[in-house]
Structure 1
Amino acid sequence: MVRDARDAAGARVGLDIGATKILGVVVAADGTVLAQARETTVAGPDGVLASAGAVLERLAAAAGGSLPAVIGVGVPGIVDRAAGAVKHAVNLGLDGDWFPLAARIGARAGDLRQPGAGAARVTLENDLNAATWGAHVLSGADDLAYVSLGTGLAAGFVLDGVLRRGAHGAAGEIGHVPVDPAGELCSCGQKGCLELVASGSAVTAAWPSPDLPAAEALFAAASAGDPAAVAARDRFVHGVADAVRMLGLTVDPAVIILGGGVANLGAPLRDAVAATLRTQAATSPFLASLDLASRLRLVPQGMPVGALGAAMIGDAG
């Protein structure tokens, strides 16, 4: 908690609903995080609602016993923002017809508001878009690409201060750009997709670790000189650099922010990707002129960018 959540005017709530955990925050109107709460996600409609409800209860306690009126929710899957519904959130067990998640969370939140305070207003957003908006709030950049290195690989965009969702909600699905026609079959049905190389799942497959996060174990082993680890790390880093180069050549954002679970590696990841970008540009005056390496940023470690973005997503339009 940064300061007392009970004293913040214009406070908002953000929920980042993932397959393993739900992270909630109370933030001030300027995006300052005031309180956080976390619960393990229980799959299925009832389980997700129970888990989210437990987070809301803890946030209400931190806010003096009553939730703020504005709640944003980031959730994986296909989101109908107008209807407040989600489908194809397979990892959450919400893989049937449209599920009215916003209304259900709103009803639960209503029980946690002071009598006469009115109903909570719940906005539903795709989780990547929410995290992208959170990166925008944190960085202050109005022209950025956010690269999510999580289980998969995807990018989000804020261009001229506007969140770009895409005509069909598919903007930034760079993980499913095929880069190796002879590569493995991807879950999307194509072969050789970029996320088979540049994602948390790719790192786990290449370097499983029972004790540490796979990316941390891989980079540590590579730093210790293990030849197999060096090869696996370099393959992953080159894949991430290819993703950054793709974004630079298609969208040309002023800032490219690395986030997601793998980005918890911090500076070693950013520095390795930047070095690879410089190597790629060494033989191309055109690439060198773009100086993609200098545009790289990291989400600050420990910052709940998805939940923060969900709380502030109403400002994205």
Structure 2
Amino acid sequence: MRLGIDIGGTKTAAVAIGDDGALGGEVRMPTGFGAEAVVETALCTVERMTLIVGVEASAISSIGIGIPGAVDAATGRVAHAVNLGLEGLDLGRRLADRLGVEVRVENDVKAAALGAHHLLGIADGIAAHSMAYLNLGTGVAAGIVLGGRLHRGGHGVAGEIGHVPLDPAGARCACGQRGCLETVASGSAIARQWPTADPLPARGLFAAAAADDGRAMEVRERFLTGVAAAVRLLVLTTDVDVVVIGGGLAALGDPLLAGTRRILNGWAADSAFLASLDLASRVRVIPLGFPAAAVGAALVGEHAWPKS
């Protein structure tokens, strides 16, 4: 049994994966804040999972952790994760010492890319193909799988497309640049442009746009254009076969997918080059509720994914 744990800013999710690749159990619980609380959250998660699946911790063949922030996958050290109050935590080593099982740690978006790739293999039988996982949440980032390998790049920043500037005169990004992709194609971008009391601003925006609110339609179109630009960027730079949209905004579902494809098809109508790439057919939205980061973390934990 392989165990994958996704430690998020507010909640932690875990799954167990059997030898056949099927999910065997699932745990969700709140995430503690600070180094000691995060370690205890992970340990508690493992304890609950062993109770659910009916095995001892020693029966777990490997454990993988997906966590936001800057992660050294080779050592399991989390350099910093602001939303969790972490700075220089040797998470992998500390958990391995307590559990007696090897623990691997990976950035959560990269782990989710492996989880989405695994899902494609089960659902569509195309696991050998290349794929990009486009994470749309408060920010924008991507995880890239090429030839079955998780691609990190020379300094571990491959996929940080949220900070590619699109408009030098655009809004200032948290990274210090202007007009980054993240300033138009993220949850924070929607919240900035569409102030609302709705706890899910994106949902409120799409509902208002569907009701023919002119301002909402304008903001929605700007957002969808940014998402389409992200898809185009990923395909043009990595030539992946599939771009899977995930993250919190993936809950928008069919309206997000249809809108993104509409923009891509519009561009293709004006460009024979883009038409030849058939970008719209490459885009998918991850199924609602699929624990991509936890599943991917389980795969990282078993060394099933050589690193590049």
TM-score category, normalised to shorter length:
over 0.9
Query: C-alpha distance in 2, partners of 1:93/1:163?
Result: 27
1:225 partner amino acid: D
1:181 and 1:192 in contact (8 A); partners too: yes
| Counterpart residue number, 2:72 | 80
Between 1:270-279 and 1:58-67, the stretch displaced more is 58-67
Deviation at 1:65, TM superposition (A): 4.5
Deviation at 1:53, TM superposition (A): 2.3
Query: C-alpha distance in 1, partners of 2:19/2:152?
Result: 23
Verify: 1:125 aligned to 2:114, yes or no.
no
The correspondence for 2:16, drawn from 5, 26, 39, is 26
| Counterpart residue number, 1:3 | none
The correspondence for 2:181, drawn from 194, 202, 210, is 194
Query: C-alpha distance in 2, partners of 1:248/1:83?
Result: 31
TM-score by length of 1: 0.90
1:31 and 1:308 in contact (8 A); partners too: no
| Counterpart residue number, 2:281 | 294
1:133 partner amino acid: L
| Counterpart residue number, 2:124 | none
Deviation at 1:275, TM superposition (A): 0.4
Query: C-alpha distance in 1, partners of 2:55/2:192?
Result: 45
Question: For residues 10-21 of structure 1, what are the structure 2 equivalents within 5 Å?
Answer: 11-21=1-11
Indicate the structure whose relative CO is greater, using CA pairs within 8 Å and at least 6 residues apart: 2
Query: C-alpha distance in 2, partners of 1:289/1:100?
Result: 47
Deviation at 1:212, TM superposition (A): 4.4
| Counterpart residue number, 1:136 | 117
Verify: 1:315 aligned to 2:304, yes or no.
yes
**Cα separation, partners in 2 of 1:55 and 1:248, compared to 1, 3 Å:** same
Query: C-alpha distance in 1, partners of 2:92/2:237?
Result: 34
Alpha-carbon displacement from aligned partner over 1:171-214 (angstroms, at most 9, x marks no partner)? 01110001111122211111111101001211222234444422
Aligned-residue sequence identity (percent) comes to 50
CA RMSD of aligned residues (A): 1.4
SS in 2 for 1:74: strand
Question: For residues 18-97 of structure 1, what are the structure 2 equivalents within 5 Å?
Answer: 18-67=8-57, 68-95=60-87
Verify: 1:220 aligned to 2:207, yes or no.
yes
Verify: 1:99 aligned to 2:89, yes or no.
yes
How many residues of Structure 1 are paired with residues of Structure 2 in the alignment? 296
The correspondence for 1:265, drawn from 252, 255, 271, is 252
Gaps of 5+ in 2: 122-126
Between 1:64-73 and 1:267-276, the stretch displaced more is 64-73
SS in 2 for 1:31: coil
Query: C-alpha distance in 2, partners of 1:30/1:167?
Result: 33
4+ residue runs of structure 1 moved beyond 4 angstroms?
none
Deviation at 1:82, TM superposition (A): 2.3
